[in-house]
Copies of this chain bind each other. A is one copy, B any other.
Amino acid sequence: MPTPRSTRADIAQQILDHARRLFAAHGFDGVSLADISKRVGIRKPSLLYHYGTKDTLRQAVLEQLLAHWNDVLPKLLMAATTGSEQFDAVLSKTVAFFAEDHDRARLILRELLDRPQQMQPLIELHVRPWVTIVSNYIRRGQEQGRVRFEADPQSYVAHMTVLVIGSLATFETLVALAPEHEPRELLLERHTAELLRIAKTSLFRPRPAGVASQANESPH
């Protein structure tokens, strides 16, 4: 009997969820408030009661995404400040964040395309620290000889960001290029593994010889 059916006030969250999915799939301009409210099972004015404006809703979706990211970020950065192959941990956790829900990558990519200049402050706030710290980590690695000196730290990080987001955002589509109908789950794993390989191989110098621990894998 305590709020038996729809738990009141989490309607706002339902709206947010459906809006996120639809925006990710069809873009902000490709989705009407009627579409969203229909999915939620309410009328359009009810939706506007919770989010006074379509643009308010868009921002709310984005904020929730970024809030989640901010939750994960500190752990990533802590990992980045320590040991050597922590780079692996940072990158694969970033990949995991976007792989967990491909809408995240699609949403950010769309915002990047649709509202580039409105994204600038958000990038400054949420991406800049990540880039700075990782760049510094790379530079330190270069001084210590672990990282290829030809690498351009800032540009490298930018490319990896685009690669992670882009590859996950377009994954469903590019599945079509797979050799045969590989079980999607496996394909995703193979795909992200190759992403990590590209990132690491292009960054770190090969082990000088002698002790081996991670550098080479066995020839399948």
A124 within 8 A of B: yes
Chain B residues near A64 (CB-CB < 8 A): none
What mask results when residues 98 to 131 of chain A are scored 1 for a CB within 8 Å of chain B, else 0?
0000000010011011101001100110011001
Chain B residues near A29 (CB-CB < 8 A): 26-27, 29-30
A167 within 8 A of B: yes
A151 within 8 A of B: yes
Q: Which of A164-193 contact B (CB under 8 A)?
A: 165-167, 169-170, 172-174, 176-179, 190-191, 193
Nearest Cβ on chain B to A135's Cβ, whole angstroms: 9
Find the B residue at minimum CB distance from A24: B113
A159 within 8 A of B: yes
**Measured between alpha carbons, how far is A114 from B114 in the docked complex, in Å?**
13
What mask results when residues 144 to 176 of chain A are scored 1 for a CB within 8 Å of chain B, else 0?
000011111011101101110111011011101
What mask results when residues 182 to 219 of chain A are scored 1 for a CB within 8 Å of chain B, else 0?
00000000110111011101100010000000001101
Find the B residue at minimum CB distance from A156: B194
Asked if A113 and B176 sit within 8 Å, CB to CB, the answer is: no
Chain B residues near A170 (CB-CB < 8 A): 109, 112-113, 116, 162
Chain B residues near A131 (CB-CB < 8 A): 177
**Measured between alpha carbons, how far is A161 from B123 in the docked complex, in Å?**
24
Point out the residue from B27, B120, B172, B202 that lies within 8 Å of A116, measured CB to CB: B172
Residues A113 and B109 in contact in the complex (CB < 8 Å), given A155-B191, A162-B163: yes
Asked if A167 and B177 sit within 8 Å, CB to CB, the answer is: no
Nearest Cβ on chain B to A71's Cβ, whole angstroms: 22
Residues A120 and B217 in contact in the complex (CB < 8 Å), given A113-B109, A167-B159: no
Q: Pick 16 A–B contacts, CB within 8 A, sort by A.
A: A30-B114, A106-B113, A109-B113, A116-B170, A123-B173, A127-B177, A148-B201, A152-B194, A155-B191, A156-B194, A156-B198, A158-B167, A159-B163, A162-B170, A162-B174, A166-B166
Given contacts A26-B29, A162-B174, 4 further A-B contacts (CB under 8 A): A124-B176, A151-B194, A162-B166, A199-B202
